[in-house]
Amino acid sequence: MKPKSPKAFVFYIIATTVLFLFLSTVRDLIIKNKAYFLTEVNPIFQIVYAENSGAAFSMFENFAKYFGYIGIIAVVVFMLCYVYKKILFENKIMIITSVLFTAGVLGNTVERLTLGYVIDYIKLSFINFPVFNLFDVMITISIILYILYVLFGEEFFKRIRKKI
């Protein structure tokens, strides 16, 4: 079976891999080098170290392996199939959304499977909010983009692009 848009699928695979590796490297630089100096006087966020053995916001603790298997099988494989069969290269928003989502899920899933937990390291200083990581940020951004796309269509993003 041929992909709907081979160009879109190849871009998706390469961009997801690059983003996953980049975010993994950033995490390692922040945590292993203890880059806490970034937040000494920062009123917005702090760099901390937290091990999350649960799902979102530490729910379902100690079920990390199960979430890891579900994540890699259900979500990543679904996204691969979805992009392979449905996404055209011309639909940039859906490609970007898919890349952000898959890289985020893949990052958290790899950590769950290899470590048994997800490393969270960003703590907002101005609000009481759970510690999170950049993979979580990518998932959240992708979901917001997808909701905007479903509600307002591609024209919404074209209008924004024209204003920028």
Catalytic residues: 120, 136
Backbone angles phi, psi at 53, to 5 degrees: -95, 5
H/E/C letters for each residue in 88-138? Answer: CCCCHHHHHHHHHHHHHHHHHHHHHHHHCCEEEEEEECCCCCCCECHHHHH
Taking CA atoms, 45 is separated from 32, 56, 119, 122, in Å, by: 18, 19, 16, 7
